[in-house]
Chain A
C-alpha cells in the first residue's frame, strides 16, 4: 500500500510540476462571435477592437466575416478592453451598461475564446434648426439629453452636443435605443457681425509681399446695443418641439435601428438688458478682451496681475450652461449686459485684486430688463483664514500644490447667493475683495470630488456643523480642515462562491440621502474583479447587484431592500482594502 501510495504521489507530483511550468508569454487568445442583440444573427463587417487596459492606444482591430467570428491571438496575460461597432451599431464595449463595461481578463485558466458579443442596433436622431424666416441657423449648439439612471434617479442627462452646419442640420448617430430630448441654443447671427464691424477698414496699404498687416488707423469704441428693436432680439433656449424648459421638452422614444427627425424653429424675443451695480474695486483697466496689437512685439500680458471686475451671466443651469452675455463697464461700478433671453440665469461677479480673486454668484429669474445692485445691504464682514490638508498642522502649509485651483465657497441658504474666494498655493484665502455681508452661510468647496471639508474652526464667528454665522465688522479667522479621497476598494463579485462578471457594484455611503456625490459604481470584469477609487474615508455598504441597471439607487427607500445583505465597510484615511461582495 505505501509503495502504491508513493507511486501515486510521484505521479501526482509529476503532473503538478507539468501544469505549473510557466506558460509561454503572449500565448493567450481572445475571441468569439458578434451577434445582433435582438435577432441573435451573426454580424459581418463589424470592427472589433482590443486594447490592453493599461495601454488603450495600442489597439488591434479585426473585421468580421459573415460568420461573425473574431479572434485575437498571441496576447500577453492581462486585462483588455473589448469593443465593437459597425454601420448601424454604435461602438460599444463588451456587455456595456451606461459608462461601464466588462473588461476581458486573458490568462491561465481564463476562457476568453467563446465570448458572445451582443451588439445593439443604434438609432439616429437628426433635424434642422431654422429661424422664423425659415432660414437655416448655422453654428447653433444642439444638446442631446437621454433619459437614464446614471445619477441614480430617472431624469434627463446631457450626453452629447453638436453644432449645426450651413444648412442648419445636426445629426446624432450611434444612439442606443432609449428616450431622448433635444435642446437648442443660438444667438442671432448678426450679434457677431455687430461687434466686429467696428474695426475700421484697414486703410493704408501694405508693403510688397511681406504679409505684414498695416497699422489700423482707428477703432471705434465698442458699440452700445442697437436701438432697432428688430435687431435687439435674442433666442431663448428652445427644446423640441417648442418648449422653453427642459421639463417641458418632448420625449422622443427611439427603438433600435430607428431614424427620427426633430426640427426646431427658433423664435426671437426682445432681448433683456441688465444694469448691474457692483461694489467698487480699484478702477478697471483700459483693456478690452479684443485688444489689437499695434505691431510691437508685446508678449501676452494676460497673466500679469489683473485689477478690476467682470460681470457675466450664464443661463441654462446644470443641463448645458451657456454664457449669453458679458457685461461692459459703462461707468465705474456700473455694468451693462444685453442680448439676454428671459428665463433662469446665474449672475457671476468676479473681482480681482493682485493675485487674489473672488467670485460671487446669484441666481436670477429674468422676465424683463431690470437693474440690479450687488452692493451689500448689510454691514460687511471680514473673513480670512487657511485651508489645511489632512494630517497637516495649523501652522503648516500647502493645499494647492498639485490639486486643481481651489475655491472656498460661502452660500447663503436664504438667497442662494454664493461668494467664493480663491485659495492660494499656501492654503490662504481672504474674502476681503468680495464685499461679503455679515450673515449665515453654508461653507463648502467648489469641487468636492477629491477633497471635502471634514471640520471647521473659527475665531470670531459661531459654527454649527457646516454653517457659520458671521458678525459684522469683527475680523473672523477660519481654519478649514479637509479630508482627501484616497481610499480604494477592490475585490471580487461572487455568486454561489464563483466569480461573477457584469454585476453592478455599488458603494453606498452611510447617509445616502445626504451624500449623493459619494456613491461609487463599477461593473465586475470577466474574472469577477472590480476596483473603485478615489473614495473618501468613512462608513459604507458594499453591494453587488445582478441585472439591476435600471435601479433607482439614489432613492434610499429602494436601496433599503438590498442594504441588509450588503457588506458594511469602514474606510480609514488612505486605506486600500479588498473585499468580496455577494451578488444579490
Chain B
C-alpha cells in the first residue's frame, strides 16, 4: 500500500487513487464523463473469452489492465469521446503491418451509457513438422524457411521466416498470419563420404520445397488457418553430389567480372563456386543434383557518384544430375534504353530533384519477379526549355520484360507507354542483343483523378489492401493500402470507370491472371472518375475465400 501511494502521489492523480481503491464498487452513473469502459476480449474464431489479455486505452498507460478469467475488463476514469483501445495476448495476431507488433486496436465510443466493448483477437497459425532421412533418422540443423507469395507492385523479395531443426529433426514456426506458405528445407551440412561403392563421390541432400519439389511451381503450399496448426513433414534421400565446371568469355583484361551460382530455389551459393578471372575458368565444389542458375556480370562505374551499371551479362540454366563440364557463358553487352517523358507542365520547377516518373522492368524468367531497373536522370534538365525530360534505363540485359511505371506528380497520370510500335502497357518489352534501341516513350497528362476512402470491417475501420481494377482490363490492377485507421488513397489515375474492392490479403488471389476481375465481379464497387476528380468511397472489407 505504501508503494502504491508513493507511485500515485508522484503522478498527483487523486482521481486514480479513488478509482483504484474503490475498484470493487461499480462506477457511479453520471451524466458526463469521466466514464468507465467495460468490455470483454474474445477469440475471434472460437468465441471463447481470453483470460489475462492486456487491454490499454491509448491516452496513457495509467489506463491499462488485464482481463480476468472470463475475459472481462474494466477501465475507469476515461475521458468522453471516441478513443482507441488496444488489446493483445501472445498467441493472437497483432498488427504487423509495418513490421512492428503493436497490439490490435479498436475504436470505441465512450459515454455514460456506452455498451460493453467486444474486442476480438484472431489466433495465430502454426506450421510444424519433422525432417528425416531415408533411414528415418532425424536430420538436425537443417534450415526450414517459409516463402509467402504476395502480389504487390513493385515486387518485394518474397518474405521469409526461418528456423533450424532440433536434434529430433523437428521444427515449429508460430505467429503466422493466415495464408498460404511454401515450406523450404535447406541442409546446412557438408556432403558425406561413405564406405559404399562411390567412395570418391560424396553424398548429401538437395534443398527441397514441401512436399518434394525442386521449384515453386511444382511445390504445394501449406494453408495456415487462424488458431490451427498445420503439419509439413519431409523425408529426404541422400543423393550423389556433382560438380559443374566451364568457362566465361566475352570480356577484356581490364574488366571485372563476377560469377554467381543460385540453387533451384533461388538461394545464392557463394561458397560453392570458384572463378578464375584471368582464365575465365570456373568450377564448383560438390553440390547436390538439381537446377542451377549461373549468372555472369561485368560492371562499369563511370564515376564515383554514378551507380554501377551492368555492362555485360550472361546467364545459363543448368539441370544437373551428374558432373557437367564445358559449360560456356558468353557475356553479351547490355543495352541502355533511353526514356522520353512528355507531358509534364513546363511550369514545373527544376530545382525539385525528386523523381517524377519511375519505370520498372520486371523479368519473369524464373517466375520470381526480380530485376527492377530505376530510370536515372541523365540530364537534370535545368536549362532545357522544353517540357520533355530524358532518362536512361541502363545496363538492361536482353530478355522480355513487363514494364511498370509510376508517376509522382500531383494531378498527372500516365496515358501511354510505347516503344516503337509496341504498346508497353499491354505487351512485354523484348530486348535482344546490342545495337541502338529506340527510346521508350512515356506520355503523361494532367487532369488525373484520385480515389480515396476508408475501409470498414463491420463498423470498425480496418486495415486492408484495396485493389483498383482500371477501365482497360488488359492492364494489371493497382494496389493501395489502408492502415490502422482504414484510410487509403490511390492517386494519379486516368479518368474512366474503375472497379474497386478491399480485401484482407491478396496472397490467395492471382491478380496477374486475366479474369481475376471476373472472379470478384459480384463484390466490386464501381466508380466513374472524370478528369481532376477526387472521389471518396466507403468500402466494406471483403473476405475472399480460397
Contact = CB atoms under 8 A, between A and B. Distances in A.
Contacts of A45: 135, 137
Contact of A196 (B59, B102, B156): B102
A60 interface: yes
Interface string B242-274: 000000000000000000000000000000000
Given A87-B138, A227-B7, A200 B58 contact: yes
A206 B65 contact: no
A201 interface: yes
B297 interface: no
Given A205-B489, A210-B406, A226-B64, 9 more contacts: A166-B91, A196-B103, A197-B58, A208-B489, A208-B490, A210-B408, A211-B154, A220-B59, A229-B20
A45 B56 CA distance: 55
B484 A124 contact: no
A302 interface: no
B166 A209 contact: no
A207 B491 contact: yes
A62 interface: yes
Interface of B: 3-4, 6-8, 10-11, 13, 16, 20, 51-52, 54, 56, 58-62, 64-66, 84, 86, 88, 90-91, 97-98, 100-103, 105, 124, 126, 135, 137-138, 140, 152-154, 156, 166-168, 172, 174-175, 189-195, 202, 406, 408, 452, 478-485, 487-492
Nearest to B10: A224
A209 B153 contact: yes
A38 interface: no
Interface residues of A, number: 64
Given A206-B489, A227-B7, A199 B194 contact: no
Given A197-B103, A227-B20, A209 B195 contact: no
B484 A201 contact: yes
B482 A205 contact: yes
A201 B478 contact: no
B66 A209 contact: no
Interface stretch (A187-195, A373-381, A472-480): A187-195
Interface stretch (A63-71, A110-118, A342-350, A550-558): A63-71
B61 A223 contact: yes
Contact of B7 (A60, A189, A205, A225): A225
Contacts of A136: 90
Contact of A201 (B135, B166, B485): B485
A47 B56 contact: no
Nearest to A230: B66
A412 to B, nearest CB: 30
Interface in A155-199: 165-167, 171, 173-174, 189-190, 192-194, 196-199
Contacts of B6: 369
Given A171-B166, A190-B66, A224-B11, A202 B98 contact: yes
Contact of B193 (A62, A203, A205): A62
B115 to A, nearest CB: 23
A245 interface: no
A207 B489 contact: yes
Contacts of A210: 406, 408
Q: What are the 8 A-B residue pairs with the smallest beta carbon separation, nearest first?
A: A166-B174, A173-B167, A223-B61, A201-B484, A205-B489, A190-B54, A202-B483, A61-B192
B86 to A, nearest CB: 5
A322 to B, nearest CB: 20
A225 B66 contact: no
A351 B543 CA distance: 55
B152 A194 contact: no
Interface in A302-357: none
A117 B416 CA distance: 74
7 contacts: A65-B195, A71-B195, A190-B64, A197-B86, A197-B103, A201-B484, A227-B13
Nearest to A191: B54
A174 B168 CA distance: 11
Contacts of B91: 166
Interface of A: 45, 47, 49, 59-65, 69-72, 87, 124, 133, 135-136, 138, 165-167, 171, 173-174, 189-190, 192-194, 196-211, 213-214, 220, 223-232, 270, 273, 368-369
Nearest to B485: A203
B7 A61 contact: no
A320 B214 CA distance: 44
A368 B485 CA distance: 42
Chain A binding surface, main DSSP class: loop
Contacts of B140: 87
A189 B56 contact: no
Contacts of B97: 202
Contacts of B4: 227, 229
Contacts of B88: 190, 193
Nearest to A71: B195
A209 B52 contact: no
B136 to A, nearest CB: 10
A535 B126 CA distance: 52
Given A166-B126, A190-B88, A209 B406 contact: yes
Given A193-B56, A194-B56, A226-B64, A87 B51 contact: no
A209 B61 contact: no
B51 A199 contact: no
Nearest to A166: B174
Nearest to B175: A166
B482 A197 contact: no
A204 B64 contact: no
A226 to B, nearest CB: 5
B202 A61 contact: yes
Nearest to B86: A197
A196 B478 CA distance: 32
A198 B452 CA distance: 27
Contacts of A225: 7, 61
A166 to B, nearest CB: 4
Given A203-B487, A208-B478, A224-B61, A270 B3 contact: yes
Contacts of A194: 56, 61, 64
A208 B480 contact: yes
Contacts of B102: 193, 196-197, 199
A231 B64 contact: yes
Contact of A87 (B58, B64, B167): B167
A166 B90 contact: yes
Contacts of B98: 202, 213
A165 B174 contact: yes
Nearest to A194: B61
Nearest to B54: A190
